[in-house]
Structure 1
Amino acid sequence: MGSVLTQLLLLWLLGTQPEATIRVFVVPHSHLDVGWLHTVQDSTQAYVTTVYTSVVEDLTRNKQHRFIIVDQEFFRLWWDGVASAKQKVQVRQLVDQGRLEFVLGGQVMHDEAVTHVDDQILQLTEGHRFLYETFGIRPQFSWQVDSFGASATTPTLFALAGFNGHIISRIDYDLKETMQQDQEMQFVWRGSRSLLAQQEIFTHVLDENGYCSPRAGLPSQQGVSSNIPLLLSKGFYWNEKAVFPDPPWDGMYPNQTVPVTLSNIQRYANTLSYNVRKRAPWFLTPHILWPWGCDRQFFNASVQFANMDYLMGYINKHVSQFGVLMVYATLSEYFQTLHSEHEPVQVRDHRDFLPYSSDMFHSWTGFYASRSGLKRLARRASALLYAGESMFTCFMLAPHRFLDRAWGLQQLQKLRWAVSEVQHHEAITGAHTPKVSDMFVGRLNNGMHGVQKLMSAIVQDRFPAHTGLEPGGYVAVIYNPLAWTVTTIVTLTVDFPKVSVTDESGHPVPAQVQNSKEMPSVYDLLVLTTIPGLSYQYYVIKPSRRAKGDTQVTEATMANTKQFGRRPRRHDSSVGRRLVHMENDCYTVSLDKDTNLMHSIWERQSNQTIQVTQQFMEYEANGDEDQGPISDNYVFTSSETAKPAWETVGMEIVEGELVTEIRQYFYRTVNDRDPTYTVYSRLARGPPGADGELLCHRIEQEYRVGPLELNCEAIWRTSTNLNTARVLYSDNNGYQMQRRAYKHHENNIAR
């Protein structure tokens, strides 16, 4: 009871101190990355289990202590596999009392630059569902403090999810410095151009200290001894670093920081209060959010809190000396106090905080392309998951003879977990170790295999296997997981060039056969299909046995392939004299036969022609620390400007009734047998009507890259003569379009 009264007294004092007193809300937390340097299993074994166990034990004993939990993947593993019945009761009590608070609450803390909004919603829903089903709560505040930049989609999503506050940290370093000086670290963010004030959220930017405890030292003129053992480099942590692969058996971690004692407490207090006074002018109110924690902290919570209790108690007894009053708090307690001030804040529009730069020449854009194979796999897994869920929901309502619903839900849940966890800001970004990458890839592949089996089982259960197929024939099932009718062209693979395609009623379906761009021994079969929303259709594909002159059997048309010999890279501008034209009902694409490169595109509707140039180029990534920042999975830095990465270009034009495909092969040297880069451009010819017009208006491009040389970063540069006024539009996580104007920065600050 005494400790509760102490905490209440401190909270009361926060509201009764003179204006000069800075009120510090110490928010204990542990930043637990779901896959970065170590796998989920290794991290759980080494420190995650002890974090939750020791925190729950300490908070149960000490009523004034607080703690926030962010990601749910690790907590769910602890809750389901480690926590005892007694510990679960204690957690429920702590949550009910508001001393243990779940913030953000997604399965992970997702990345904001290379994730899709659907997957952001998925992982947030996955975590929130667990919290609601287990504790009957929904998080009220975000803690998006380590994603590499901040997208405008995220505040909109969190506002729609019912959050009352949004906390971010990693924004451009010089912008943050300016915002600190101008006291603009708190604002109302209207992240959506269309929703505006309908979905706005109060946003707090952590200052230059980030989500870790401060590491800045004291200036010499303060007259304070700097002999504080290891304190300033460790950020007020007394439980040291986690030990892999297992915690020490005796609980004694090596090189522990010297604890707070009577002989050194004055120096600790001077250091902490100096940091608080330094950051106080950056905010409009005297209420300072002071995150206490960092990566892999609080695996020995009792040691952490015992030292901080002593230090905070000393400072609070000498408020007149330090000008600081400190109290443990959750985010709810901090924001409630802040809200009571009724301090007006500025409104920020839909602009985002991308890209993120941590210092001069440290622009975090390298992760946009790091581990591109994992990015592709994650997107494919996400698409398969949504298709599997919608098919299961639609067709499992009817009786099924052979399909176990519980097994089906298990397959979907396995993939939901895998797709959710790979949205983590150290996962889909590619900023993790090879061992961790193997973990993500394995889980995604296993989950996809299970959902593919589920979807096959649903189809087979509803439609028994067809009989009477000729040797080599098969049935292809195409599913539309969207809620509206879709007309599109799907690509299948067949072993025979003469093929007939019919629907389930036996009617012929428009189709095109062409030489495969993947393997010379097979063929690509392009099928034009129109499928209502949340439905699937099956097509019978079989070798054609049509006799000469037989008009009863309709074959897929065979595309005509024209090959153009290799052309050397030109160093002059004398191009465009010999053109070959490819067209559909919307565009005419002109290619230069002297270079095998695209020359121009004419749009029929506007009668406008734009000039086009194409180049694969390479940057030499900087690997010399003496020449500046190293280019790595996070940061992209080059040692020179981009240079063309090819000497000759070969071209094929595959022209058919449904699709014309332009295949361009870029060879690094004249004598290379295989291309280093390949571009496939497609123009579709759709049927009459709105759906066909949508097909017509797309020029699709697909790129194949590699093998690359060591320390090279490849780019595909398409230049036009459009007058864009240095403004481009890119999508925000597949949600809305973002206007991006060119920014000029002095001192060559990287962007």
Structure 2
Amino acid sequence: MGINTVLKLVCVILMVEIIHQSSARPSIRADNCGYQTCPLEKEGFINVHLVAHTHDDAGWLKTVDQYYYGARSQIQEAGVQYIIDSVVDELKDHPDRRFIYVEMAFFSRWWEEQNESTKSIVRELVNQGRLEFINGGWCMNDEATAYYVDIIDQMSLGLITLNDTFGECGRPRIAWQIDPFGHSREQANLFAEMGYDGLFFGRLDHEDKRERTTKKTMEMIWKASNSPVNQSSLFTAVNYNLYQPPPGFCFDIYCNDEPIIDDPKSKDYNVEQRVTDFLNYCEEQANAYATDSILLTMGSDFHYQDANVWFKNMDKLIKYANARQTEGSRFNLFYSTPSCYTKALNDHAVTWPTKTDDFFPYGSDSHAYWTGYFTSRPASKYMIRQASNLLQSCKQMDATLARQGATKAGDLFTMKDAMGIMQHHDAVTGTEKQHVAEDYALLLHKGVEECRKIQTSYYEKELVLGNTPLPKVSYCQLNISQCEPSETNNQFVINVYNSMALEVDRYIRVPVASGTNFRVLDTLGNTMPSQSIPIAESVKALPGRVSTATRELVFLARQLPPLGSKSYFVQPEPSGEDETIEPENKSSISNEKVSVEIDDVTGLIKSVTVNGKTTPLKQEFLWYASKSGDNSEADKRASGAYIFRPEGNDPLAMPSSGVRTTTYSGDLVQEIHQVYNPWVSQTIRVYKGQEHVELDWVVGPIPVEDGIGKEIISRISTDMVSKETFYTDANGRQTLERVLDVRESYPYTVTEPVAANYYPVNSHIFVKDSIGNQMTVLVDRPQGGSSLHDGELELMVHRRCLYDDAFGVGEALNEMAYGTGLVVRGTHFLILGDETNSMKLTRSLSHELYKQPQISFIPSTLSYQEWSALYKTEYQSISRTLPNNVNLLTLETLAGGKYLIRLEHIYDVGEDPILSQTVTVSLEGLFPGFTITSAEETMLGGNQFKKDSNRLIWNAASPERKAGHQMGEVRIPAVLLKPMEIRSFILTLVRII
């Protein structure tokens, strides 16, 4: 061989090695974190962004603690602390590698256990973009059954924690919702308002995915709100393979796929074939996307416990795949993150398709519609909703105490942590194992106990006039009509706290002892109208109820102050006689606005009259038989925790020998007690002065001795012509139109006529006709609902399934409590009227259902005069009410003596001619005795000042405006709110001397 030939060969070898190194170590933009640290793509190549990640459920098959510590490995081998340990070790010595992490509930726990040396290493990894936080919430929340308040809270908890720990370099830019079972328009809107540049998810309907991969529309601009606020559009991408690695290329210790063997001397040498297979998959995926950039998820559930296994094999994939570029390969592989991938797509300046609806319901195949979890574990869903309301009150009280410089008992973080975890997509959904559900309930109970301590501190500080300590404050389980202080004392004080920034009237019901007639005194000592009414037999028989009370005392708490409390004094009437009303033989109840007529034969509602207009209707309980099956094929799918699959398309009549009814009439409330059978009953109720009908139902234990699972619905039928169209809320905020058997984004094949038309209902569902009539039902917890026939609404209230649906939980949804099947009590509000008035009532009543007053009790032997001389009977912590269309969404303390406040416009565009208009709210003088010395507007998560937000701008097909965030004028303390807008501020308050 000649010298020239040798030199040429050496040059070729050197060139190949340079290519290997440059592709294995892509150029890094240094100096700044964020997009500045992203690797550079190669022009003319298909750039493959490899995203190393782990998906760590905050509870599912194991509890949060068991997942973190790696306990109960016989259930699932998973230890999150070891994952983070291992990843940090692998990243610190390999500057080319990158990793993303999501769940702050786990990371924050890990962080607190580290020494300063490790923390310093992690900070450097974050600053360099090698360890990147994605999503950043306390958990990866569900999008169907999570209430918008709780989504904001759990995201803020994680984001503010990241901001306090890592500053700007720890701020997530991308939402990463890879596992929730369907995706909400409101969730996307909230992410946009938090300043995210993009959203990635894994699950969408199988037919939708087929359509999108064919048309290369897996990435889009999601117009997530009708609000005129110019920040609601969000770049959205669907992962090609859920969140799993390409088939055959799972390199975790849990996987069985072949590693990359690159020693030519080994008989198992497989580099060429493995690289070819991998690039063939990349080619397949690239054909489904619109640009020459693709993202591959390299990880899965609880992967990277031994991160070296993953990284070592990916290093080889990158090296040998990129070496083929000299042979004409079009592929360029490198470590990346969803943020860097998003920035790369933004740089392509493509015009993207748009989407305006949502991604519900999700069907993973033709017979697996994930709509059962909209209702699964209804008692847990109710507990979460009630705890959410308690947390908002608790934060307000905590902020009031902080302004006063008062010492307080109770750890607010315990409740925030519990509520954050409860939003996880296997917590609020009810799709966890039973022992995990019990652990969730324990976490939440501990949070409630800490909140109660803060409430008690609030009352002890704010109600005491002199030096006489406040007697012991007690709290009760009023949802089961059980209250030891009110049942065993003839004299007691009821404290009623209103967390709304409006002056409101609320009916209060407390169980009391029989044999005594009680008088209620208001804050001035005047006797108030009150009424004693029997407790329904089904409520008295609730399993776990420890009470001898047979009646409840009812009164109207008028003009409850905004963010304040009133104390009502309850004492025996001098006569001492029991004036509980007796049952009447009548078939109607009414007040001055509403009347309800019962059919004498069936015992069911036959009509409701509101303001003189009568609507014939029938409300009844029915049930679907749960489909059984071994799940071996699509058409053998069983109904389970995730899946709703009824046996037949028509619900079955409730077993009953006739609905028995008992009527009670009084000056404040009138009720009809219905009994279908030993396990289904309902109280129909109308209060004086109100325009809606309250339906208080008790369902369970659902009988399954016949071997058939049952899914119970409440159905209301009218003669309205609704043209197969109905409307449901999105996470309690926006309202979306639904059309029977129609999907906006893709042609839908009807295979499950019932389950595939179910949608999540967090707040309201309604139908309306062409002449403006509307029927609305409000719920007190997440439920699945639909309108399968014109003029009809149905809501699933309870379910008990005997088969697992084979999507991982491994247990049938067969809940037990107190030795029997679970019994659930709940409430629906029925609204009838014209469209405009109905929406006004819907918005106000939905907040009433959520923000019910916090009630506490203090037994006392003092007279009213003695009590009022020692203690305040009324207190409010803000100086005035806010406008009727504005909600004080958040008021809480932050580090450094600052406060986070959020104001929300609760009406959407066009819902009301007046209340949907833009409104101005002044913060000036809102907090008595304090002045605002600074008010800086933040993004919704409270972790970034709005003036610093600079979201990516996208080109959308047929845009109304550019997708992205453009700063408008910030006017403080006069805050302008547009429909459905939420604005957040960090306040500094100084006491006025």
Instruction: Give the TM-score band, short-chain normalised.
Output: 0.7 to 0.9
Alignment of 1:223-622 (within 5 A): 232=248, 235-240=249-254, 257-262=258-263, 263-319=269-325, 320=327, 322-349=329-356, 351-398=357-404, 400=406, 404-405=407-408, 407-408=409-410, 410=411, 412-461=412-461, 462-463=463-464, 464-465=469-470, 472-496=490-514, 497-517=516-536, 518-519=539-540, 521-530=549-558, 531-546=560-575, 558-562=580-584, 580-604=587-611, 607-622=613-628
Q: Is the contact made by 1:188 and 1:200 (CA closer than 8 Å) also made in structure 2?
A: yes
In the aligned structure 2, how far is the partner of 1:600 from the partner of 1:533? 37
**Whole-Å Cα distance in 2 between the matches of residues 449 and 623 of structure 1?**
43
Which runs of structure 2 are paired with 1:180-195 in the superposition (5 Å)? 180-195=213-228
Q: What CA deviation, in whole Å up to 9, does each residue of 1:520-543 have, x standing for no partner?
A: 743111120120210100111112
Q: How far, CA to CA, are the matches of 1:195 and 1:355 in structure 2?
A: 27
| Equivalent position of 1:45 in the other structure | 69
- Tell me by how many angstroms 1:197 deviates: 4.5
Partners of 1:338 and 1:27 in 2: CA distance = 15
TM-score, normalised with respect to structure 1 = 0.85
Deviation at 1:135, TM superposition (A): 0.5
How many residue pairs align between the two structures? 669
Q: Distance between the aligned counterparts of 1:451 and 1:747, measured in 2?
A: 48
Q: State how far apart, in whole Å, the 1-side matches of 2:188 and 2:531 are.
A: 46
**Bigger mean CA deviation after superposition, 470-479 or 324-333:** 470-479
The DSSP-based 3-state class of the residue aligned with 1:615 is strand
For the residues of structure 2 that align with 1:133 and 1:443, how far apart are their CA atoms? Answer: 25
After superposition, where does 1:681-696 map in structure 2 within 5 Å?
Answer: 681-686=684-689, 696=690
Is residue 707 of structure 1 aligned with residue 701 of structure 2? yes
Structure 1: gaps of 5 or more residues: 216-231, 242-254, 549-555, 565-579, 668-674, 687-695
Distance 2:637 2:585 in 1: 45
Q: 1:565-591: CA deviations, max 9, x gaps?
A: xxxxxxxxxxxxxxx332223222111
2:535 corresponds to which letter in structure 1? S
C-alpha distance in structure 2 between counterparts of 1:203 and 1:5, whole Å: 28
Please state how far the C-alpha of 1:301 moved relative to its aligned partner: 1.0
**AA aligned opposite 1:719:** S
1:150-192 C-alpha deviation (Å, 9 max, x unpaired): 0001111011111111112211110111011111111111111
The residue correspondences of 1:148-163 to structure 2 (distance < 5 A) are 148-163=181-196
Q: Is it true that 1:719 corresponds to 2:717 in the alignment? A: yes
User: Which residue type is aligned with residue 706 of structure 1?
Assistant: G
State the match for 1:200 in structure 2.
Answer: 233
Rounded to whole Å, the distance in 1 between the matches of 2:300 and 2:489 is 63
| Matching residue of 1:219 | none
Letter in 1 for 2:652: K
State the shift of 1:17 in Å: 4.0
Task: Give the direction of change, closer, same or farther, for the CA distance of 1:297–1:345 in structure 2 (3 Å limit).
Answer: same
| Residue identity in the other structure for 2:493 | V
Aligned with residue 115 of structure 1, among 146, 149, 161: 146
- Aligned-partner SS, 2:178: coil
Conservation of the 8 A alpha-carbon contact between 2:24 and 2:315? no
Structure 2 stretches lacking a partner, 5+ long: 1-17, 30-37, 71-78, 264-268, 473-485, 541-547, 743-747, 757-993
Q: After TM superposition, give the deviation of residue 628 of structure 1 in Å.
A: 1.1
Which of 71, 93, 107 is the matching residue for 1:75?
A: 107
What is the aligned partner in structure 2 of residue 646 from structure 1? 655
Structure 1 residues 581 and 55 mapped into 2: Cα distance closer, same or farther (>3 Å)?
same
- Going from structure 1 to structure 2, the CA distance change for 1:177 and 1:65 (only over 3 Å counts) comes to same
Shift in Å at residue 10 of structure 1? Answer: 9.2
Q: Partners in 2 of 1:89 and 1:396 — Cα distance?
A: 33
Distance 2:710 2:576 in 1: 55
Code of the residue aligned with 2:556 in structure 1: it is L
So what's the TM-score if we normalise by structure 2?
0.65
Aligned 8 A contact 1:69 1:103 in 2: yes
Using the alignment, how far apart are the partners of 1:716 and 1:201 within structure 2?
A: 37
In 1: Cα distance, 2:636 partner to 2:166 partner = 50
SS in 2 for 1:646: coil
In 1: Cα distance, 2:343 partner to 2:549 partner: 68
Equivalent residue letter for 1:237: F
Deviation at 1:201, TM superposition (A): 1.1
User: Which residue of structure 2 aligns with residue 663 of structure 1?
Assistant: 673
Structure 2 letter corresponding to 1:306 = K
Aligned to 1:92: 123
* Distance (Å, rounded) in 2 between the aligned partners of 1:644 and 1:174: 34
Which residue identity lines up with residue 209 of structure 2 in the other structure?
K
Name the aligned partner's letter for residue 187 of structure 1: M
Distance (whole Å) between structure 1 residues aligned to residue 299 and residue 680 of structure 2: 46
Q: Kindly tell me: are residues 75 and 704 of structure 1, through their superposed partners in 2, closer, same or farther at Cα, counting changes over 3 Å?
A: same
- The CA distance in 2 between the partners of 1:547 and 1:562, in whole Å, is 24
Cα deviation, residue 727, structure 1: 1.1
Instruction: Tell me how far 1:737 sits from its aligned partner.
Output: 1.4
* Alignment-derived partner of residue 854 in structure 2: none
Structure 2 distance, partners of 1:653, 1:678, is 14
Deviation at 1:29, TM superposition (A): 0.3
1:32 aligns with 2:33: no
Tell me how far 1:345 sits from its aligned partner: 0.6
- Residue identity matched to 2:648: E
Deviation per residue, 1:287-341 (Å, 9 max, x gap): 0011111111111111211111112100000024543110101222211211111
After the TM superposition, which of the residue ranges 503-512 and 533-542 deviates more from structure 2? 503-512
Aligned to 1:127: 158
Shift of 1:277: 0.5
SS at match of 1:318: helix
Please state how far the C-alpha of 1:547 moved relative to its aligned partner: 8.1
CA distance in 2, matches of 1:93, 1:637: 50
Query: Residue type matched to 2:207 in 1?
Result: D
How many angstroms does 1:399 deviate by?
Answer: 5.5
